[in-house]
Amino acid sequence: MTLIVTVDCGSKDAAIISHGKKIGVDIIVTDHHTVPKEISKDAIAVVNPHRHDCEYPYKGLAGAGVAFKLIQAIASEIYSEEEYKAYIGECIDICAI
């Protein structure tokens, strides 16, 4: 199985995501652009602060910020608190670029 994580795109690309699923590619979308009425049901996840069901309080994140929030969420689940802080400290510069 292959995984693609988009950054700053994908909310409106349901046909491409469906094709990916058909050929065995899982897709996680991280985006901040306008969300269509129907989002892809074939994506593993569509992470976008503009989704009507998103409770994240700040809707003005750039695409890189949305991707970083995904990294934070995953890291907080797999690392101890100390490891999490070290990991985030190591990758924050890359995320800022």
Residue 75's nearest CA partner among 96, 57, 53, 92 is 92
Centre a 10 Å sphere on the Cβ of residue 85 and count the other Cβ atoms it contains: 12
The per-residue pLDDT for 95 is: 83
Say if domain 2-96 classifies as CATH 3.90.1640.30: yes
Contacts of 6 (CB under 8 A, 6+ apart): 27, 28, 29, 30, 31
Quick one: tokens of 59?
């809707």
**How is the chain split into domains, by residue range?**
2-96
According to DSSP, residue 14 is labeled H
Consecutive 10-residue averages of pLDDT for the chain (97 residues): 93 96 97 93 97 95 95 96 96 85
pLDDT at 88: 95
